[in-house]
């Protein structure tokens, strides 16, 4: 391949890096010998081999876990606990042992059983499909042990400036990478929400996944640029493109809050999916956390976290940002986020079913209560001293709260005023219980996500009852455009730059005008520096995003004039097609 050639995929870590391509092919050859005649197989020996392989794999998984914990933190490392659990899963172990008893050699029994499990997960939606990667990882560890195959290339010692190309990377592969050495990752397979992609993001390694386009033709040693924001891999990019891309990525970190050129303060906060993402957010200059996806505390485990664990996770985030606001979203499961132990109802169309606040108010009222107890206790932390003597809050009018600091809590997937009223009642009753028990607590700021057209139409009524609203453009675009956010086939529809979505955003800020509620945005649109002026023009007070784009968005906010930004928003709101919107914004089609 002679460049420059641009291959497209899915941007996963929105940073850019340039380096030298190096293919990673998983190291060892795991081709199995031909299956022998069952009568020649000694099941006792095979059982012993299987046992020994499990123990070897267990040791390697624990080592990977410790290494990941040291590099990216405990929450990301917890994926390896899930890997270890596969080694003990009776549904797998018993089947492998049964096959061995019938005369199947251990390596064939392992491969067959894992292939079946991988096939099952691949047939599911969203995050569950990505558990297939975890199973592949465990299967390969077992097969390596059984075949006595060499361990794969040591990914922790790659030379500086490597762009790693692979068919797919497992979570263990990714956790081994040294972010100082690896300039980028491009893989043929994988989605944005696979564990491997999440770990790469936590390590801030530029990454593009799902590059089906001719990645295989890129030879080792070629210069490659990985633009994880545009979702592009540029082969032999040339000096101009390289310099432009790196300039974009290198916006200086601005630790203090920023205002527009004419003095309007805009909070630029971080979205985090786990405690491990909190320190990098603060390093990138986040003004607090605008979206703490609390559901990550519930994934990849066998039972929900208890009140204490949730309390501690939130307090750790508050301590990392003592002067800033931390917005924790209550449990948002259902739709693409399935949690097996919660026994969520089977639904023909989960995106239009029991999700978010709907589950918290009914099927999982118990989990909601535990979560609110943890949150109200955490809200007292740091007031009147470190954790001691918190006030008994009185909801939206709690006036001893610092303007911008402290805890805020928001409810996901709201579509009715009644849901907000019921959630506020639950908060009040949890506060009363804690008071009766003599437990320190406070009522945090309370808000709702605007992710449904209903919430956008009702923004005035919601804002009148709450302290804030936060626009979730990922789901809002999906529901306004009737386009599944997980489906490639309708990816074109799922774009916040469609006029209908932009009008829903504007309707939200307009609805909140005249109330005391502030309005933020925490969908992916908020993190796009090319859309910062438009977001300011819509009247948003806060933009919350993946930590990596915070410096570029802060830089952009400082250049914006809010009157001009409003004119831009008005021009965009007059558009009738996405092409016209892109034209007004000066973006290429």
Ligand X SMILES: C=C(OP(=O)(O)O)C(=O)O
- Which residue, 287 or 475, is less far from Mg ion as judged by CB? 475
Helix H or strand E segment including 256:
none
465 is in an annotated binding site: no
Is 329 annotated as a binding-site member?
Answer: yes
232 binds, among ligand X, Mg ion, none (CB under 5 to 8 A by kind): none
- Site size toward Mg ion (CB under 5 A) is 3
- Contact region for Mg ion (CB under 5 A) — 26-34, 185-193, 203-211, 465-473? 465-473
575 is catalytic: no
DSSP string, 284-337: TT-SSEEEEEGGGGGSSSSS---HHHHHHHHHHHHHHSTTSEEEEEP---BTTB
Q: Which of 522, 543, 552, 568 binds ligand X (CB under 6 A)?
A: 522
Smallest gap from Cβ 473 to ligand X, in A, equals: 5
In the bound complex, what is the minimum distance in angstroms from residue 294's beta carbon to ligand X?
10
Candidates 211-219, 366-374, 438-446, 470-478: pick the segment binding ligand X (CB under 6 A).
470-478
Asked if residues 540 and 489 have their Cβ atoms less than 8 Å apart, the reply is no
Q: Is 386 labelled as part of a ligand binding site?
A: no
Residue 146 or residue 331: which is nearer to ligand X going by CB? Answer: 331
* C-alpha to C-alpha distances, 340 to 300, 346, 462, nearest whole angstrom: 9, 11, 32
Residue of the chain from 75, 130, 324, 451 that contacts ligand X (CB under 6 A): 451
Q: Any catalytic annotation for residue 522? A: yes
* Angle 434-290-10 from CA coordinates, rounded to 5°: 130
Q: Is 107 in the site for ligand X (CB under 6 A)?
A: no
Angle 183-185-190 (CA atoms, 0-180°, nearest 5)? 165
Minimum separation from the CB atom of position 472 to Mg ion (A): 4
293 binds ligand X (CB under 6 A): yes
The DSSP element (H or E) to which 97 belongs, if any, is helix 90-101
CA 372 vs. chain centroid, Å, equals 22
Q: Do the beta carbons of residue 534 and residue 565 sit within 8 Å?
A: yes
Detail the DSSP E strand segments found in 9-124.
10-13, 16-24
293 marked as binding residue: yes
Would you count residue 474 as binding ligand X (CB under 6 A)? yes
Cα 359 to Cα 345: distance, rounded to the nearest angstrom: 10
Of the listed 108, 195, 381, 498, which one is catalytic?
195
- 475 near ligand X, rule: CB under 6 A: yes
Residues near 179 by beta carbon (within 8 Å), at least 6 away in sequence: 203, 204, 205
Please count the residues of this chain forming the interface with ligand X, following the rule CB under 6 A.
10
Distance CA 502, CA 524 (A): 14
Binding test (CB under 5 A) with Mg ion, winner from 295, 300, 475, 528:
475
The Cα–Cα gap between 74 and 66 comes to 9
Q: Does 304 bind ligand X (CB under 6 A)?
A: no
Cα–Cα distance measured from residue 271 to residue 570, given in angstroms and rounded to the nearest whole number: 28
Any contact of residue 472 with Mg ion (CB under 5 A)?
yes
Query: Could you say whether residue 277 binds ligand X (CB under 6 A)?
Result: no
Per CB under 6 A, the list member of 184, 444, 523, 551 interacting with ligand X is 523
Helix (H), strand (E) at residue 162: strand 162-166
Nearer to Mg ion, 140 or 451 (CB): 451
- Count CB-CB contacts under 10 A for residue 490: 14
Q: Is 221 exposed, middle or buried (0-12, 13-18, 19+ CB in 10 A)?
A: exposed
14 binds ligand X (CB under 6 A): no
Select 26 or 353, whichever has its Cβ closest to Mg ion: 353
Shortest distance (Å) from residue 128 CB to Mg ion? 17
Q: Which residues bind ligand X (CB under 6 A)?
A: 291, 293, 332, 451, 472-475, 522-523
Q: Could you tell me which residues are annotated as the binding site for phosphoenolpyruvate? A: 293, 329, 474-475, 485
Which residues belong to the active site?
195, 522
Q: Which residues bind Mg ion (CB under 5 A)?
A: 451, 472, 475
Q: Could you tell me which residues are annotated as the binding site for Mg(2+)? A: 451, 475
């Amino acid at each position: 391949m002679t460049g420059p050639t641009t291959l497209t995929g899915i941007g996963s870590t929105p940073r850019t890096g340039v380096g030298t391509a190096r293919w990673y092919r998983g190291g060892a050859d795991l081709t199995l010998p031909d299956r022998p005649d069952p009568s020649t197989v000694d099941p006792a020996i095979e059982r012993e081999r299987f046992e020994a392989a499990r123990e070897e794999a267990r040791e390697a998984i624990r080592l990977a876990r410790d290494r990941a914990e040291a590099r990216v933190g405990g929450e990301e490392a917890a994926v390896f606990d899930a890997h270890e659990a596969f080694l003990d899963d009776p549904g797998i172990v018993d089947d492998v042992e049964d096959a061995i008893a019938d005369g199947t050699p251990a390596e064939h029994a392992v491969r067959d059983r894992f292939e079946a499990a991988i096939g099952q997960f691949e047939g599911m939606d969203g995050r569950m499909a990505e558990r297939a990667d975890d199973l592949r990882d465990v299967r390969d560890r077992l097969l390596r042990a059984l075949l006595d195959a060499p361990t794969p290339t040591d990914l922790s010692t790659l030379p500086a400036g490597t762009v790693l190309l692979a068919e797919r990377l497992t979570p263990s592969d990714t956790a081994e990478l040294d972010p100082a050495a690896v300039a980028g990752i491009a893989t043929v397979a994988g989605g944005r929400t696979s564990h491997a992609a999440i770990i790469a993001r936590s390590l801030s390694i530029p990454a593009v996944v799902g590059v089906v386009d001719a990645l295989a033709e890129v030879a080792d040693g070629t210069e490659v640029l990985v633009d994880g924001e545009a979702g592009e891999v540029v082969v032999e990019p040339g000096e101009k493109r390289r310099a432009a891309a790196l300039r974009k990525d290198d916006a200086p970190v601005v630790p203090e809050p920023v205002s527009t050129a004419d003095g309007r303060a805009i909070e630029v906060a971080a979205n985090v999916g786990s405690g491990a993402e909190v320190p990098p957010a603060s390093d990138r200059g986040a003004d607090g956390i605008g979206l703490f996806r609390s559901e990550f505390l519930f994934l990849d485990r066998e039972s929900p976290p208890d009140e204490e664990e949730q309390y501690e996770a939130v307090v750790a985030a508050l301590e990392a940002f003592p002067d800033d606001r931390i917005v924790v979203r209550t449990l948002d499961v259902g739709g693409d986020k399935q949690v097996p132990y919660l026994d969520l109802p089977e639904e023909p169309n989960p995106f239009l079913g029991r999700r978010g606040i709907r589950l918290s108010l009914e099927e999982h009222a118990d989990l909601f209560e535990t979560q609110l107890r943890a949150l109200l206790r955490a809200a007292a932390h740091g007031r009147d001293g470190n954790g001691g003597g918190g006030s008994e809050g009185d909801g939206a009018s709690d006036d001893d709260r610092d303007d911008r600091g402290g805890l805020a809590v928001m409810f996901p997937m709201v579509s009715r005023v009644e849901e907000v009223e019921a959630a506020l009642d639950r908060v009040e009753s949890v506060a009363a219980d804690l008071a009766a028990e003599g437990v320190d607590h406070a009522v945090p700021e309370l808000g709702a996500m605007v992710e449904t057209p209903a919430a956008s139409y009702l923004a005035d009524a919601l804002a009148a009852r709450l302290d804030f609203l936060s626009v979730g453009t990922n789901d809002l675009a999906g529901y306004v455009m009737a386009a599944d956010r997980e489906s490639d086939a309708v990816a074109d529809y799922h774009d916040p730059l469609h006029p209908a979505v932009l009008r829903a955003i504007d309707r939200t800020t307009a609805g909140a005008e005249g109330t005391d509620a502030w309005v933020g945005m925490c969908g992916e649109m908020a993190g796009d520096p090319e859309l910062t002026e438009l977001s300011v023009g819509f009247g948003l007070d806060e933009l919350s995003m993946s930590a990596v784009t915070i410096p570029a968005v802060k830089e952009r906010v400082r250049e914006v004039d809010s009157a001009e930004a409003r004119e831009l928003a008005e021009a965009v709101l007059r558009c009738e097609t996405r092409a016209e919107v892109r034209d007004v914004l000066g973006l290429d089609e």
